[in-house]
Amino acid sequence: MLSITNLTKIFNPGSVNEKAALTGISLEVEPGDVVTVIGGNGAGKSTLLNMIAGVFPPDKGKIIIDGQRVEHLPEHVRASYIGRVFQDPMMGTAASMTIEENLAMALRRGARRRLRRGITNGDREFFREKLSLLGLGLENRLSTKVGLLSGGQRQALTLLMATLVPPKLLLLDEHTAALDPNTGQKVLELTEQFVKENNLTTLMVTHNMEDALRVGNRTIMMHDGKIILDLSGEKRKNTGITDLLEMFKKASGQTLANDRMLLAN
């Protein structure tokens, strides 16, 4: 479903701020794979997701989504393949617009915007039904402005928007990190539910090691713009959090003792 070859990104090349964020990443993700992505601050996790989504063009390398070369396509064109949820709950929704308007825009993801009514009564029925899955009572608040919702509610809504039209690829970047633990857990449960129902191919960045090993069927670890560990199958099943930290130390030559990855648990 996703095939990345030798992907490289250097920010501010030739300046004192030069930063090699990705150094020749290659990754094959099969349809239906749910891959969790871990790594320290600045490892390049967000950059990897941004490159897949097309936020900035790569310096080198190939990205293929469902058989189609996309690395030269602008972000809004790639949007027809990709659903995204960001870390910041404010980033995934338009605050001044209503819940139903936000959902309607998500329903047209990747389609041409036309001069026809943005929301039909049929859409509303569909939205109510989908919103009730969140269990937050939002199905009765279709015309509430999203800015009035809490961070957790907005993030749950963003998740629903990202999967409303099942994308070929779901990109989640620490999407529960800014929420309080209970809300984060709830949003994560919803994530697993939606992913499972639609059999979505997913990349999920997380700083929670427990979630990283429990959710999905594969875990990759990044460091300094490279993938330093790729766990799946039996090997992943037999790996615990302490093993993971040990592996990080061995592969990167650094310790994670002071990293928020540990503190997060």
Ligand X SMILES: Nc1ncnc2c1ncn2[C@@H]1O[C@H](COP(=O)(O)OP(=O)(O)O)[C@@H](O)[C@H]1O
115 binds other proteins (CB under 8 A): yes
* 41: amino acid identity, one letter: N
Spell out the residues 6+ positions from residue 257 whose beta carbon is closer than 8 angstroms to its own. none
Which of 3, 8, 23, 80 forms a contact with other proteins (CB under 8 A)? 80
**Interatomic CA distance for residues 200 and 145, integer angstroms:** 29
- For β-strands 19-29 and 2-11, DSSP reports them as antiparallel
Nearest residue to 40 via CA among 223, 213, 178, 176: 223
Residues numbered 116 to 155 that lie near other proteins (CB under 8 A) are 116-119, 147-148
Minimal distance, residue 76 CB to other proteins, in Å: 5
Here the tokens at position 203 are 């990349």
**Interatomic CA distance for residues 188 and 194, integer angstroms:** 10
Minimal distance, residue 27 CB to other proteins, in Å: 21
5 binds Mg ion (CB under 5 A): no
- For β-strands 226-232 and 218-223, DSSP reports them as antiparallel
Strand order of the sheet with strand 19-29?
19-29, 2-11, 60-65, 68-69
Minimal distance, residue 101 CB to ligand X, in Å: 30
**Interatomic CA distance for residues 78 and 58, integer angstroms:** 14
Q: Residue 93's binding partner, choosing from other proteins, Mg ion, ligand X, none, with beta-carbon cut-off 5 to 8 A by kind?
A: other proteins
Nearest residue to 232 via CA among 222, 214, 219: 219
Binding site residues, ligand X, CB under 6 A: 11-12, 19, 21, 39, 41-47
Contact region with other proteins (CB under 8 A), list: 40-48, 95-103, 185-193, 200-208 = 95-103
Q: Residue 166's binding partner, choosing from ligand X, other proteins, Mg ion, none, with beta-carbon cut-off 5 to 8 A by kind?
A: none
Nearest residue to 86 via CA among 197, 172, 9: 172
**Interatomic CA distance for residues 26 and 219, integer angstroms:** 15
16 binds other proteins (CB under 8 A): no
**Interatomic CA distance for residues 260 and 257, integer angstroms:** 9
Residues numbered 160 to 219 that lie near other proteins (CB under 8 A) are 161
Q: Residue 16's binding partner, choosing from ligand X, other proteins, Mg ion, none, with beta-carbon cut-off 5 to 8 A by kind?
A: none
State the number of binding residues for other proteins (CB under 8 A).
35
198 binds Mg ion (CB under 5 A): no
Q: Residue 21's binding partner, choosing from Mg ion, other proteins, ligand X, none, with beta-carbon cut-off 5 to 8 A by kind?
A: ligand X
73 binds other proteins (CB under 8 A): no
Minimal distance, residue 225 CB to ligand X, in Å: 7
User: What is the contact surface with Mg ion in residues (CB under 5 A)?
Assistant: 46
User: What is the contact surface with other proteins in residues (CB under 8 A)?
Assistant: 53, 74-77, 79-80, 82, 84, 90-97, 101, 104-106, 108-111, 113-119, 147-148, 161
